Structure 1
Amino acid sequence: MDTARKILVLGASGLIGRYIRDDLRARGFQTIGVARKFSAGQAMNALDLEVPIMAMNTAALAGLLREQAVDVVVNCLGVLQDGPGSDSRAVHRDFVERLLQAIKQSGRAVRLVHISIPGAAGEDHTAFSVTKREAERLIAASGIRYAILRPGFVIAPSAYGGSAMVRALAALPFQLSMADASVPFQPVAIEDISATIAWLAERDDRDSVANSASWDLMQKQPVTLGEVIAAFRRAFGTEKSLRIAVPAFLLNLGVMLADLVSWLGWTPPMRSTAIAELRRGVTGDPSEWMAATGMIPRTIAETLGRHPATIQDKWFARLYLVKALVIASLVVFWIVSGFIALFVSYDAAAGILRSHAFPPSLVAPVTVLTSLIDMATGVLIAFRRTAAFGLVWGILASLGYMAGAAILTPDLWIEPLGALVRTGPAIVLMLVALMTLDNR
């Protein structure tokens, strides 16, 4: 086995890229993981690079390939939907165009392995799929050595985006409509993707099969989305639990809300592009890939059997959708409570302080200040970039309210509606949100 080739994995912090980076290293390849940012939990090897890869021009990319003496480039970069900081055309098409020119200018015999999506060009109706297909055409016409891999629904030990959503649907008592459940949805084990890349990396530069490959990677047996979810239910032990049908209008409403919150920096998995791609289905013909490599793809039953569900898997799947509900409820709680105290029931809010012998000169300033603090906390939590700070601030503000009341108005602790007593569970809920805030 030739493991002397040096491999550059672009997008090594993502679901597919991270696994491929680690697996290729375990196989003995010199593998450089490249990402804009690795999370704290993604241990970096000395070879890994944190660089603003999307901002690099052709010359900078060519210099990177020469400097690292790269033989194979694996492009795992991708975004699901346009939004703040996400431009599908820039990531899928424009970057690939620069990368192809950089490979030509690098002076090295680089083989490009490009991760794309299954499906026919005539079925592309979203910016995500259209730009993915444009990149494929650029690669095929470039004249360089290439392999375009089109994985089906990827099953990996970790989960993110659509794969996390499928796990959540399996763990929670929700049932998709018959139309959605019957969509073809052929899966692929991430081990098979990585094994294919390793096979390609070992091929000689003159190997015509590996120099112009275009393969669908997925299990050969046809399967539907409903059957994939059922397989996860068996793994989680939830196949006999009660099912609640999700009405189409409720799903569509959730998609609209998800698109809106994406402009706040969040990346919910069930946005309009995800639903459109899901309803198109995931299907293809892996026979050419199987014939070329001799691989027999794992079925979903075999894949899940190799990685039995742990209690961590079950907790993650159950909390995945609940996390969004927790964040949303905290945003509403803080903003609405502050708004009501300041604009709707100001006299009543101020009256509570007056009735508990609060210094009269401080009643108005404290009522206004605490109301503004509440609304500001909700706004901070609403934006993904400031959510962690907002949650910590909310916990500190709540503790401050409790301590201040204990000193200045201790009788508020025994008032009939228990306003201060309820602050304790709110703090716990903010701690839960803070602990589950990470996506990767």
Structure 2
Amino acid sequence: MNEQPTPRILVLGASGLIGGFVTNDLRRRGFTIIGVARSLADRQGVSPDDLELPIMAMDVAALAELIRSREIGVIVNCLGVLQDGPGSDTGAVHRDFVVRLLSGIRESGRAVRLVHISIPGNAADDRTAFSTTKREAERLIAASGIPHAILRPDFVIAPAAYGGSAMLRALAALPFDLPAKERATPFQPVGVADIAATIAWLAARPLEESTKAVTWDLMQAEPVTLGGVIDRFRLAFGTARQKRIILPKFLLDLGVVAGDFVGRLGWLSPIRSTAIAELRRGIRGDPRSWIAATGIKPLRIDEVVGRSGASIQDKWFARLYLVKALIIASLALFWIASGFIALAISFPATTAILTSRGWPDWFAVPFAAITSLMDISIGGLIGFRHTAAFGLVAGILVALGYMGGCAVFTPDLWREPLGALVKTGPAIVLMLVALLTLDNR
């Protein structure tokens, strides 16, 4: 009997939490993998076979050619966004792209199995654009007649941390806790390794009736709560006995407002209205059909998080995750406020510092105005995600310029009682910290 040839696998969203792990895991198992993402430069384990493509902008013909030219037998769709915002459209990513992908598979003329990563739960409980568009994609795939497997993992725990998983680690590492109602939310987590194992199991099998069209809930069989997941991380971080402050509901709601606001600036905060809405409704699923079909025994939460404890790198990340947001916000406000005060409130005093040292008015006044506007601009650049790196570098250079310029032209300012110039040094260090921790994944 001839052995079934191993199909070539196309992973869409290969730079994400699930997609990145799946790409590397399947490659280690011996599959031929082509990972596709908008940007792969920062992901570990990038192969020459991986592609950087504007996947969301590709039309049906381009998708069909990609599938045909690369001789793809399995497509794993890990694309997804949590909430609408600049550069993120749930309908475009979850529904419209799936429509084009299904047409592209048909036009490619190849027998392709589509493995689609979705979410568990009942359609009747869907309230957010995230969940409703995910469910629309499921219906489109089920009605397409294309061989498919819709995988519906609950809360995914991976070695890497991003978004909600990073948020739970931060809560576990710091002396804070969620309100009782949120802690009691039903959770059935799944290890990302179990998702990769399921995809490998599907890819190794022919397109037979028993696996031609399946929908499986992927999660551990034993029910857990959100609080239970956080407590498991606390055991790993060594903070289980730490006294904690329960965050009041109004503070959590205020964080949601702030998260939605910074989302408009390009920052993907894990505390946004969609994330909290999905968390508060809670999700249960039934993994029995998945376990029975594949024979995979899902790892429990204590096995996924690990019994040996967290590394020092894990602890540093978790402790700094929320502090990073405070650093960015404080630096943006620091530059904007300092420029605004100098320009609009204390401009005569600002220019007097220069004129008292012999600078002529015709030079001191525009110089003070320009530097004040420059400070405000730096704060604005830091506030927007896509320009934050440029703003931080500019802030460091400008601050060094201020310190050096004062040393040459107004050295007496270094003896100023409040030590304004001396305090610029720690601000530079803080901007360097922000710059080095700017990456999200």
Q: What is the DSSP-based 3-state SS (H/G/I as helix, E as strand, rest coil) of the residue aligned with 2:159?
A: coil
Tell me the residue number matched to 1:230: 231
2:123 paired with 1:121: yes
Work out whether residues 356 and 411 of structure 1, in 8 Å CA contact, stay in contact via their aligned partners in 2.
no
Unaligned runs of 5+ in 2: none
Distance 1:60 1:258 in 2: 36
| Partner residue in 2 for 1:145 | 147
Matches for 1:136-285 after TM superposition, within 5 Å:
136-206=138-208, 208-285=209-286
| Match of residue 392 from structure 1 | 393
Give the counterpart letter for 2:108 in structure 1. Answer: S
Counterpart position of 2:414:
413
CA distance in 2, matches of 1:383, 1:341: 23
1:93-150 CA distance string (max 9 Å, x none): 1111111111112111100000000110001000000000000001111111000000
Secondary structure at the aligned position of 2:367 is classed as: helix
2:134 pairs, out of 119, 122, 132, with 132
Match of 1:107 in 2: 109
Equivalent position of 2:91 in the other structure = 89
In structure 1, the residue matched to 2:19 is 17
Cα deviation, 1:174-198, whole Å, max 9, x if unaligned, reads 1100000000011001110000000
Shift of 1:306: 6.3
Q: Which moved more, 1:63-72 or 1:274-283?
A: 274-283
Distance (whole Å) between structure 1 residues aligned to residue 395 and residue 210 of structure 2? 59
Give percent identity, aligned residues only: 65
Supply the distance in 1 between the matched residues of 2:308 and 2:299 (Cα, whole angstroms).
Answer: 13
Q: CA contact under 8 A between 1:147 and 1:212: conserved in structure 2?
A: yes
307 and 382 in structure 1: CA distance in 2 versus 1, 3 angstrom threshold: farther
SS at match of 2:302: helix
Shift of 1:359: 4.7
Per-residue CA deviations over 1:185-230 (Å, capped at 9, x if unaligned) read: 1100111000000000011112x22211100000000100000000
Tell me how far 1:389 sits from its aligned partner.
0.5
My pick for the range that moved more, 298-307 or 12-21, is 298-307
Find the counterpart in structure 1 of residue 378 from structure 2: 377
Deviates more, 1:30-39 or 1:397-406: 30-39
CA distance in 2, matches of 1:40, 1:237: 31
- Matched residue, 2:287: 286
Q: Say if 1:118 and 1:152, in contact at 8 Å, map to a contact too.
A: yes
> Any idea what SS the aligned residue of 1:117 has?
coil
1:34, CA displacement in angstroms? 0.5
Instruction: Please state whether the residue corresponding to 1:71 is helix, strand or coil.
Output: strand
The alignment covers a number of residue pairs equal to 439
Alignment correspondent of 1:337 = 338
How far residue 46 of structure 1 moved from its aligned partner, in angstroms, is 1.4
After superposition, what is the alpha-carbon deviation per residue over 1:26-57, rounded to whole angstroms, capped at 9, x for unaligned? 00000110011113343421110111111111
Residue 307 (structure 1) shift: 7.1
Q: For the structure 1 residues 306 and 93, does the alpha-carbon distance in structure 2 shift closer, same or farther, using more than 3 Å as the test?
A: farther
The answer to whether the 8 A contact 1:71-1:109 is kept is yes
Structure 2 counterpart SS, 1:28: coil
Structure 1 match to 2:68: 66
Change (3 A) 1:16 1:113: same
Partner of 1:430: 431
Distance in structure 2 (CA, Å) of the matches to 1:438 and 1:334: 22
Q: Within 2, Cα distance between the matches of 1:102 and 1:232?
A: 42
Distance (whole Å) between structure 1 residues aligned to residue 259 and residue 68 of structure 2? 42
- Note if contact 1:15-1:158 (Cα within 8 Å) is conserved in structure 2: yes
Name the SS for the 2:151 alignment partner. Answer: strand
Which residue in 1 is equivalent to 2:329? Answer: 328
Q: Distance in 1 between matches of 2:288 and 2:107?
A: 35
- Deviation per CA, 1:315-360: give whole Å up to 9, x if none: 0111111101000000100001100110011112222333445455
For the 8 Å contact 1:146–1:213, the answer to whether it is kept is yes
Q: CA deviation at 1:314?
A: 0.6
Matches within 5 A, 1:46-61: 46-61=48-63
* 8 Å contact kept, 2:40–2:46: yes
Alignment partners' CA distance in 2, 1:435 and 1:2: 48
Match of 1:35 among 30, 37, 51: 37
Residue identity in the other structure for 1:399: L
Answer yes or no: is the 8 Å Cα contact 1:3–1:28 preserved in 2. no
Contact 2:238–2:309, Cα closer than 8 Å, also in 1: no
The letter of the residue matching 2:115 is V
Q: In the aligned structure 1, how far is the partner of 2:361 from the partner of 2:178?
A: 58
TM-score, normalised on structure 1? 0.97
2-side partners of 1:321 and 1:359: how far apart? 47
The Cα shift of 1:16 comes to 0.2
- Structure 1 residues 279, 195: CA separation in 2 closer, same or farther (over 3 Å shift)? same
> What SS does the corresponding residue of 1:147 show, helix, strand or coil?
strand
Provide the C-alpha distance between the structure 2 equivalents of 1:353 and 1:417, rounded to a whole number of angstroms. 18
Q: Which residue of 1 aligns with 2:77?
A: 75
State TM-score, norm by structure 2: 0.97
Alpha-carbon RMSD: 1.3
